[in-house]
Amino acid sequence: MEAIRNRGPFDRKLINAQIVRRIEDRWIGFSLSGHLKDLYKKVWLGAGRVQTPVLGWIIDRYDEWKRNRGYLVLVILNNGKRLKFFTKDRIDVKENERAEVMVLNIDSREEVLKPLPPFTTDSLLFEAQRTLGIPSWITMKLAQQLFESGLITYHRTDSIRVSPAGIALAKAYLEKKGLESLYEGRPWSSEGAHEAIRPTRPLDVEELRKAILEGSLKVPIKLSKLHFKLYDLIFRRFIASQMVQARVRTLSVTFEFKGLQNTIERPAKVLEEGFTLIYNPGIEPWLCNLREGQKLSVESIKIIRASSVRLLTPGDVVRLMKENGIGRPSTYSKIIESNIRHGYVIVSKKRGYLVPTTMGINVYNYLVSNFADIVSVETTRKLEEELDKIEKGEISPIEVLDGLWNELEKMRLVGIEVLRGEGEITA
């Protein structure tokens, strides 16, 4: 409403950048997809400017995972805590054996932990996958519905900016909870067309449930358990971002089991409370009770065929897209979905890992062998940088399109039928 009341002229540079993006996506995506359908005689195949480099990451990680296969030794202590050890060679564990884990070394330090900024699209997708086990496309659907219900701000954003209204909301909530002494309002950034993802009311998840149940807050859909879980994650991360830092004791502990060693480093004790009251950074108090040379009794041992390298999850892929400057908040989950829809990738049931199929590997190898200049991460990043320059008026949109068209023309000149027929795609 504020934008409508203060409407201004259209920015032609932004419009040009969007038009060029759409043309590039169609020139590359339609051309390569049509070529794949003709080549493999499968109408569901496809390729894309961002989709194909992402498929490459999934395949590369899968190859690395295979090269590093071995055995994961899962040791469950008598206190219920789990320790993991990895070995390339299987170890012998006799039935009813009285096994022990040795505490080899403990390093301790005090440190200040600062709160993380509120969520952007990529960080929300990553954290929802990591902590809640929700894949990116489901997270985006849930966030869309929370947004449409008026419970959170716009969920397609790459900005961590918090408006004065958002800062005031956090302050009101902390005052209501008697935590005003822990308030430290932060705008986080001055940039971004949209704010970070945050709640629109000073209501935590329990207060939200109560308001809906009592009828004082009406929402257009029935919220599921997953809606409330995601809202709770967004709410706590945002409120924590407006709180003071905390001081903790962090421990680095090295364990040994049958000649295998593993070191874990975790915050173990809060020395001075801050945002940790709202958002737990993984505090593990049990580590404080350990001492060097101590032997810990083992309740059970499991040996699992595994790898020292973890397969990618959808959240990992979203983070890679953000780090490599390809894709956008509105397309992160769609890109992963496309690879699944085309049959190039499957999602493991237990952990939600992304595993390439034989078809996915074959298609990717064919594309990089024949179209490397179009489907590489470097080319995709360069195209994104050119779009940014168009937005700023630093480069001509026609110049960018000419460059891409010439690349596609080169492929046709070397005997690869990319653009199927004269005049089918016109600038």
Percent of residues, the chain, with pLDDT higher than 70:
95
129 and 207 part of one domain: yes
342 and 233 part of one domain: no
Nearest partner of 55 among 378, 323, 354, 310, judged by Cα: 354
233 and 139 part of one domain: yes
149 and 215 part of one domain: yes
Confidence of residue 391 (pLDDT cuts 50, 70, 90): very high
Q: What is the pLDDT of residue 415?
A: 37
Q: How confident is the model over 241-253, as pLDDT tens digits?
A: 999 999 999 999 9
Q: What is the pLDDT of residue 64?
A: 97
Residue where a domain terminates, one of 307, 330, 354: 307
For residue 15, which amino acid is it?
I
Q: Is 264 within the bounds of a domain? A: yes
Helix (H), strand (E), coil (C) string for 164-224 = HHHHHHHHHHHHHCCCHHHECCCCCCCCCCCCCECECCCCCHHHHHHHHHHCCCCCCCCCC
Q: Is 257 within the bounds of a domain? A: yes
- Longest pairwise C-alpha distance within the chain: 77
Q: List the catalytic residues.
A: 154
98 and 194 part of one domain: no
The domain in which residue 346 lies consists of 2-66+311-413
Assign residue 402 the CATH number of its domain: 1.10.460.10
User: Are 49 and 380 within 8 A, CB to CB?
Assistant: yes
Say whether pLDDT at 414 is over 90: no
Q: For residues 49 and 29, give the distance between their C-alpha atoms in angstroms, rounded to a whole number.
A: 6
61 and 170 part of one domain: no
Assign residue 265 the CATH number of its domain: 2.60.510.20
Average pLDDT, the chain: 91
Assign residue 182 the CATH number of its domain: 1.10.290.10
78 and 61 part of one domain: no
Q: Is 424 within the bounds of a domain? A: no
Tokens 């590039």 found at: 24
Q: Is 207 within the bounds of a domain? A: yes
Q: What is the pLDDT of residue 420?
A: 43
Q: How confident is the model over 80-108, as pLDDT tens digits?
A: 999 999 999 888 776 556 789 999 999 99
Q: Is 425 within the bounds of a domain? A: no
Indicate the pTM of the whole model: 0.84
Q: Is 426 within the bounds of a domain? A: no
100 and 48 part of one domain: no
Residue where a domain terminates, one of 262, 292, 307: 307
Q: Is 152 within the bounds of a domain? A: yes
- Looking at residues 203-231, what average pLDDT do you find? 96
CA distances from 327 to 182, 243, 295, 355 (A): 37, 32, 50, 21
Residue spans of alpha helices (H) in 270-313: none
Say how many domains are in the chain.
Answer: 3
Q: How confident is the model over 326-382, as pLDDT tens digits?
A: 888 888 999 999 999 999 999 998 888 999 999 999 999 999 998 888 888 888 889
Q: How confident is the model over 170-215, as pLDDT tens digits?
A: 999 999 999 999 999 999 988 777 899 999 999 999 999 999 999 9
Q: How confident is the model over 24-76, as pLDDT tens digits?
A: 988 888 888 888 998 899 999 999 889 999 999 999 999 999 999 999 999 99
